[in-house]
């Protein structure tokens, strides 16, 4: 189960990602927002981060205008490693090296075609399991 969330700035891109994942048969839970009305990104970032941290959802996707607000917020939840990415190399590396469990995107920064590619790369890349990366991840907590 993949958790998705956004504020108004990420609403349209979040919906595109949701449709894209569902078309692949991937189970998703949409934590909102559900309209384009102005809203507060921490509400949705916390909901997604809590769902991932609790194990309810395996990974998460968060979108706001820049991706910055949701990433700052999500990373305050213990056990969350949220990565703000805008290139495929980083989307892959943050899974392989950081075992990131939430991808954050900026809808006003990254176009929809690239964003879908970033989400696919993130979700399809396993953690390397390399002991040096495991050690560093343990040091984050
Ligand atoms: C909303 O205008 C905007 O501040 C928000 O989407 C996000 O970019 C915050 O980091």
Instruction: Give the position, in ligand 1's atom list, of the atom nearest the Cα of 10.
Output: 6
- The pLDDT of residue 116 is 98
Q: Residue 102: helix, strand or coil by DSSP?
A: strand
Q: Which residue do the tokens 């449709």 mark? A: 19
User: What is the Å distance from ligand 1's center to 106 Cα?
Assistant: 9
**For ligand 1, mutation pick of 64, 76, 106 (most atoms within 8 Å of CB):** 64
Residues 6+ apart with CB under 8 A from 103: 59, 60, 61, 62, 82, 83, 85, 91, 94, 118, 119, 122
Contact in structure between 1 and 56 (CB atoms under 8 Å): yes
- The pLDDT of residue 8 is 98
- The pLDDT of residue 49 is 99
Of all protein residues, the one whose alpha carbon is nearest to atom 3 of ligand 1 is: 65
Instruction: Give the position, in ligand 1's atom list, of the atom nearest the Cα of 106.
Output: 8
- CA neighbor of 119 nearest in space, from 132, 104, 109, 136: 104
**Residue pLDDT tens, the chain, 141 long:** 999 999 999 999 999 999 999 999 999 999 999 999 999 999 999 999 999 999 999 999 999 999 999 999 999 999 999 999 999 999 999 999 999 999 999 999 999 999 999 999 999 999 999 999 999 999 998
Is the model's pTM score more than 0.85?
yes
Instruction: Return d(Cα 3, Cα 18) in angstroms, integer.
Output: 9
pLDDT in tens, 8-38: 999 999 999 999 999 999 999 999 999 999 9
């Amino acid at each position: 189960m993949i958790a998705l969330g956004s504020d108004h700035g990420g609403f349209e891109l979040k919906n595109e990602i949701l449709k894209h994942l569902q078309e692949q048969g991937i189970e998703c839970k949409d934590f909102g927002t559900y309209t384009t009305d102005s809203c507060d990104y921490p509400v949705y970032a916390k909901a997604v981060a809590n769902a991932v941290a609790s194990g309810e959802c395996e990974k998460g996707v968060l979108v706001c205008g820049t991706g910055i607000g949701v990433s700052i917020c999500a990373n305050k939840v213990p056990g969350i490693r949220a990565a703000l990415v805008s290139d495929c190399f980083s989307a892959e590396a943050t899974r392989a090296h950081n075992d990131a469990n939430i991808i954050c995107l900026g809808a006003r920064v990254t176009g929809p075609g690239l964003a879908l590619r970033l989400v696919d790369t993130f979700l399809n890349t396993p953690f390397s399991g390399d002991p040096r990366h495991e050690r560093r991840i343990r040091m984050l907590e």
